[in-house]
Amino acid sequence: MTDAAKELLQVAPALRMRLGKDGKYPVVRFVPDGRKPAAPDPNTVWVDGTGLFHIIDDTAELAGRAAGKVAVVTGAAQGFGLEIAQDFAAQGARVCLADINADGVNAAAAAMQKQYGQSRVMAVAMNVTDAESIRQAVRSIVTYFGGLDVFISNAGVLKAESVKTQSETDFEFVTSVNYKGFFLCTQAVAPVLAAQHAADASYMSDIIQINSKSGLQGSNKNGAYAGSKFGGIGLVQSFAMELIEDGVKVNAICPGNFFDGPLWSDPNNGLFVQYLRTGKIPGAKTIEEVRRAYEQKVPMGRGCTTADVMKAIYYIMEQRYETGQAVPVTGGQVMLH
């Protein structure tokens, strides 16, 4: 990274803190090759040595539980990630949708921009297993919004197979996205969050990993996934201890099965179809019967929804006395002890 890029990652977040009020922050957009204004302009700020910033202050119009905050969500092209991003926007946040599926997030962000406006939504291509890809994405986010307040590490993959047969390649793929990806993302966003805290000692930010009930309890013939999620909780607890000096809370949310999402319900290769084909539920003859068998494993009798997860996310964000936690959202299927 060039010195200029490093400097932008420090200067823009500090400026955004200075211009914010009551926990809401304006957009502090860097203007590449911008010139120093000849006369004072309330919509721009010139920083010697860094350059020109365009200030878009629409915070008075923003309402909701995430009003005026910047939320970044990885794995936002579909599933939980997309719905989390949509909920944040509906609750007044500025949102960045990040995914390895660039076409998917570009299309989703374009639709959201129509509803909320350009200053509220952006998309970036990001491969969470590639440090350089993450660094570039974080730089784009800081250029566009000026910083970020909540980072949702949601991108995740699953390859369920027996330890007796699973290939090393598949094991490494799951570990790389779910476990190493969280480390790399945290490493890339932590300096920006620290710069914001350095500019305002009362300011706190959030890194939230979307973990799983399989991070709290083993999963039969699904060891690579459960291991990556257990490992994620080890990282969450450790990063929480370390990053609190920079005002960063680090927590995990552990959802139960999201039966309505594409992972389970995709009509071609969703888990319900796969389990019907492979006879995983003895006697089940239809997708509905497979689904019912899984719903019956949950004391509350239904799968997890994004609305359930959002309640946990907003709790964590609003809480100023909680870090290093793994919050189960499982309808009672997994209980802490």
Burial 179-194 (b: 16+ CB within 10 A, else e): bbbbbbbbebbbebbb
Q: Smallest distance, Å, CB 13 to ligand NAD?
A: 23
**One of 129, 323, 325, 333 touching ligand NAD (CB under 6 A):** 129
Beta bridge partners of 20: none
Q: Smallest distance, Å, CB 82 to ligand NAD?
A: 7
Q: Are 88 and 151 in contact (CB under 8 A)?
A: no
Beta strand 51-56 pairing with 70-74: unpaired
Q: Which stretch binds ligand NAD (CB under 6 A): 16-24, 48-56, 120-128, 234-242?
A: 120-128
- Write the binding mask 15 to 54 for ligand NAD: x where contact by CB under 6 A, - elsewhere: ----------------------------------------
Q: Smallest distance, Å, CB 31 to ligand NAD?
A: 29
Beta bridge partners of 185: none
- For residue 210, state whether it binds ligand NAD (rule: CB under 6 A): yes
Cα separation, 228 vs 225, in Å, equals: 5
Q: Smallest distance, Å, CB 275 to ligand NAD?
A: 13
Instruction: Give Cα separations from 295 to 57, 222, 327, 328 (angstroms).
Output: 46, 19, 21, 17
- For residue 333, state whether it binds ligand NAD (rule: CB under 6 A): no
- For residue 184, state whether it binds ligand NAD (rule: CB under 6 A): no
Please say which residue, 100 or 240, places its beta carbon nearer to ligand NAD. 100
Size of the site for ligand NAD (CB under 6 A): 29
**One of 51, 75, 92, 328 touching ligand NAD (CB under 6 A):** 75
What is the helix, strand, coil percentage profile of the chain, to 5? 45, 15, 40
**One of 143, 219, 257, 325 touching ligand NAD (CB under 6 A):** 257
**One of 70, 100, 190, 310 touching ligand NAD (CB under 6 A):** 100
For residue 276, give both structure tokens.
Answer: 């019907």
> Which stretches does DSSP call E strand in 3-87?
27-31, 44-47, 51-56, 70-74
Q: Which stretch binds ligand NAD (CB under 6 A): 27-35, 36-44, 57-65, 252-260?
A: 252-260
Please say which residue, 127 or 323, places its beta carbon nearer to ligand NAD. 127
Q: Are 308 and 316 in contact (CB under 8 A)?
A: no
Please say which residue, 57 or 87, places its beta carbon nearer to ligand NAD. 87
Q: Smallest distance, Å, CB 70 to ligand NAD?
A: 19
Q: Which stretch binds ligand NAD (CB under 6 A): 36-44, 75-83, 196-204, 294-302?
A: 75-83
Cα separation, 324 vs 240, in Å, equals: 5
**Helices 306-318, 79-90: inter-axial angle, 10-degree rounding:** 60
Q: Which stretch binds ligand NAD (CB under 6 A): 95-103, 137-145, 288-296, 311-319?
A: 95-103
**Helices 131-145, 181-199: inter-axial angle, 10-degree rounding:** 30
Helix H or strand E encompassing 132: helix 131-145
- For residue 156, state whether it binds ligand NAD (rule: CB under 6 A): yes
Among 93, 156, 116, smallest CA distance to 314 is for 93
Q: Which residue has the tokens 């920079």?
A: 246
Q: Which stretch binds ligand NAD (CB under 6 A): 76-84, 136-144, 291-299, 319-327?
A: 76-84
Binding site for ligand NAD (CB under 6 A): 74-75, 77-81, 99-101, 104, 126-129, 154-157, 177, 210, 212, 255, 257-258, 261-264
